[in-house]
Amino acid sequence: MVKELAGAFERIADLLEISGSDAFRSNSYRRVSRILKNLTDDIVALKEANVIAEIPGIGKSTAAKIEEYLETGKIKMLEDLKKKLPSGLPDLLRIPGLGPKKIALFYRELDVTGMDDLEAAIESGALAKLDGMGAKSVQKIAEGISFLKTSSGRTPFGLALPVAEELAAYLREFGPIDQLEIAGSLRRGCETIGDIDLLCAHDDGEALIKHFVAHPSVKRVLASGSTKGSITIPVRGEREIQVDLRVVPAESFGAALQYFTGSLDHNVHLRGLAQKKGLKLNEWGLFSGEEAVAGAEEAGIYEQLGVAYIPPELREDRGEFDPDLKINELIEIGDFRGDLHMHTTASDGKNSIEEMAHAAIAMGYEYIAISDHSQSSAIANGLSVERMWEHIEAIRQADKAIDGIKIFAACECDILADATLDYPDDVLAACDLVVASIHFAMTRKKPSPTERTIAAIENPYVTIIGHPTGRLIQRRPAMDLDMSAIIEAALKSNTALEVNSSWQRMDLKDVHVRMAVDAGVKIAIDTDAHSTDDLLRMHYGVRTARRGYVRKQDVVNTLPLGKLTKWLEQARH
C-alpha cells in the first residue's frame, strides 16, 4: 500500500514538471514520496488514529490526499493531471539524462507524446533542430533509448556488485592505485542499483579512463575524458548497466567519496550542517572561504562538521544524524558464529550434509543448521514425514562423526494455506530448530499471510520465520503483510525474523528490519544456501541488516554455541 502511495506522489511530481509547473511545487510532492517510502509505521493505522498530518513533512493538504487514496485508491489531482497530458510522456523520464523540461519542450514543439514519437523525431532530424538541441544531444538521447530497451532501469544488488568488483580489479591491473572505491547506491547496499559508480585518485586520469573504456566486456562507450568515463556492461544476456568512473585528485578523494555515496537527502542534510558552521561542502572538499579544511579523508568531513562517522549503508537521511544512535556498533561479517538456514541433497541442495559442514568449518563457523524443505515443497524435493525422520538421524550421525562444528537438525517447514504447518508437532519437536516459511498461496485472503505467519510464530517449535515477506526482487512483490502485528507476535513468542541473504530475496528488507530491532525482536541472518558456494553470500544479508541499524547483539547466529543453545531452549517454549 505505501509503495503504491509513494509512487502516486512521484507521478504527480513528474506530471507537474512536464506540465510546466514551478520546481518548488513539484519537488514538494517528490519529498512526500520519499517520506512515504521511508515510513516504518502502518499508514492505515496512522489514518485510523487521525495522525497522518503529524508526520514530519506532511501537511494538511497532503494528508488529505493520502487519506483520499487510502479510501478510494485514487487521488483526484493525479487523475486530473493524467487527463491533461498524453499517457506516454512520463515514460520518457526513464531515458537516462532526459528530464521533464526537455520532455515538455518536445511535446510543445513537436507534439511528441511517447517513445515512438520521440524515435520518429530523432530519425527525421526534427529533434536536432530544436533550440538547445544538437547532434550530440540527440545522439545521447538515442543511446539512452537503446540502453533503456536492453535494461530494466535498475539492477539487483547481487548482479551489480560482481560487475563492480570485476571492473575494480581490472582497473588495478593498470598499475599502482592507492585509492579506488565502489561508491553510489551500491556502496550503500541498496537492493537495486541505477548505475555503478567507481571513484579513483590517480595522477593520469586520461590514461586510466582509456584503460577503463577498453575493458573487453564493454558494450557501449558513453564518455571518455580525463576525469570521467562512462560505459555500459552486459548483465545476464541483453540487459545492460551503466558504469561511471570518476578520477579526482588525492586531496579531494574523501570528499568525492562522501558526495558520490550519500543519498540526495543525506547530502542535503550534511551540506546544511556545513552552512550552519559557515562552511561550504562539495565533491572537492569542505571549505572555509577558499581554504580546504577537509577533503582527503571521508571521515574528516564528518569530523569537521561535528558528526560521528556515518557508515555508508545508513546514508539515507533516516535518522542517522541522531547523536544518541550507536551507529558504530553495526553488525560486521566477522561477527557470525554460524548459519541456521541451508539445504542439502536431501531436498534441492547440491551438496551433502558432510560437504556443507566441512565448508562451514573452513569459514570458521562453530555451528550450522541443516534445514531442508518439508513435504509440501514438491518442486524442491521436500521430505515426507518418513524421509524427515531418516534425515534427522543422518544429521545426528554427521554431527557425531565430524569434529570442529556443531550440526543442528532443522527443517524449513512450509506454512500451509490453512495456517497449519507442514509437519506434525512430533517431527518439529525432534528438530533442534525450525525455520517456518510461506512458499505458496501468497495472495490468499483468508487466512491471510499475516494470520498464517502469526500462527506459525505461536507454534512452540518454530524458531525462525524464513524470508518473511516472500518477495523476489524484480520478480515477485512482497506479500501484503501487517508487519507491525508480526513483529509484536515475534517479540511475545521470542521468535527470530530472518534476513535472507539470497540476493534475489534480501528479505526482510531494511525498513522492516529496523522496525523489528527497534521493537526488540531477534534477527537471524542466514544464507538459505543450496550449495557450499552459497555459504559465502552472507555479506548480502549483512548489507541489508546494517541498513536496518542491526547490531551484533540483535543477531542470534552471532552467539557462541553455548549461548545459542540456551536461546534455542528459551525460544522453543
How far from 251 is each of 140, 171, 450, CA to CA, in Å?
Answer: 32, 20, 53
Q: What is the pLDDT of residues 154-171, one digit of tens each?
A: 899 999 999 999 999 999
pLDDT at position 458 is 96
Span 307-331, mean pLDDT? 91
Bridge partners of 529, per DSSP, are 342
- Average pLDDT rounded to a whole number, residues 483-491: 96
Q: Taking a C-beta distance cutoff of 8 angstroms, is the pair 539, 333 a contact?
A: yes
**What topology is assigned to 333-571 in CATH?**
TIM Barrel (3.20.20)
What is d(CA 421, CA 436) in angstroms, rounded to the nearest whole number? 8
Q: Mean of the per-residue pLDDT values for the chain?
A: 91
List the single range of 170-174, 431-435, 471-475, 505-509 with lowest mean pLDDT: 471-475
CATH architecture, domain defined by 253-324:
2-Layer Sandwich (3.30)
Q: Is the peptide bond before 477 cis (omega within 30 degrees of 0)?
A: no
Q: What is the band of 91 on the pLDDT scale with cuts at 50, 70, 90?
A: confident
**Residue percentage of the chain with pLDDT more than 90:** 65
Work out the number of other CB atoms within 10 angstroms of the CB of residue 173. Answer: 8
The mean per-residue pLDDT over the stretch 341-347 comes to 96
Asked if the model's pLDDT at residue 194 lies above 70, the reply is yes
Please report which confidence band the pLDDT of residue 150 belongs to, taking 50, 70 and 90 as the band edges: low
Q: Which residue has the higher pLDDT, 462 or 325?
A: 462
- Please state which of the ranges 98-107, 120-129, 223-232, 399-408 shows the lowest mean pLDDT: 98-107
Does the pLDDT at position 115 exceed 70?
yes
pLDDT of 555 reads 98
Region 291-317: mean pLDDT is 95
Q: What is the mean pLDDT of residues 367-371?
A: 98
Distance (Å, rounded) from C-alpha 498 to C-alpha 437?
10
* 49 pLDDT higher than 70: yes
What pLDDT shows up at residue 11? 85
pLDDT given at position 261: 96
How far apart CA 562 and CA 564 sit, in angstroms, is: 5
The predicted pLDDT at position 246 comes to 96
Structure confidence by residue, pLDDT tens digits, 72-90: 888 999 999 888 888 788 8
Digit-coded pLDDT (tens) for 381-400: 899 999 999 999 999 999 99
Q: pTM for this one?
A: 0.76
Instruction: Please report which helix (H) or strand (E) contains residue 229, including its range.
Output: strand 228-234
Using the 8-state DSSP alphabet, how is residue 262 labeled? Answer: S
Place of cell 577558499: 290
DSSP-assigned letter for residue 97: T
pLDDT tens column, 449-467: 999 999 999 999 999 999 9
The three-state (H, E, C) secondary structure of 540-571, written as one string: HHHHHHHHCCCEHHHEHHHCCHHHHHHHHHHH
CA separation for the pair 36, 4 (Å, rounded): 10
The mean per-residue pLDDT over the stretch 207-223 comes to 93
Match 559557515 to its residue by C-alpha cell.
278
Question: In terms of DSSP bridges, do strands 496-500 and 464-465 run parallel, antiparallel, or are they unpaired?
Answer: parallel
Share of the chain above pLDDT 70, in %: 98
CATH of domain 2-149: 1.10.150.110
Fold of the 155-169+193-248 domain: Beta Polymerase; domain 2 (3.30.460)
Euclidean distance between CA atoms 521 and 490, whole angstroms = 7
356 pLDDT more than 70: yes
What is the residue extent of each domain of the chain? 2-149, 155-169+193-248, 253-324, 333-571
Question: Alpha carbon of 132 to those of 97, 99, 120, 127, 128: distances in Å?
Answer: 14, 14, 19, 10, 9
121-144, pLDDT tens digit by residue? 998 899 998 888 888 888 888 887
Distances (CA, A) of 256 to 183, 260, 318, 414: 9, 6, 22, 48
The answer, yes or no, to whether residue 514 has pLDDT greater than 80, is yes
Q: How confident is the model at residue 151 (pLDDT cuts 50, 70, 90)?
A: low
DSSP assignment of 396-458 equals HHHHHH-TT-EEEEEEEEEB-TTS-BSS-HHHHHHSSEEEEE--S-TT--SS-HHHHHHHHHH
pLDDT score for 452: 97
Quote the cell numbers at residue 371: 534445514
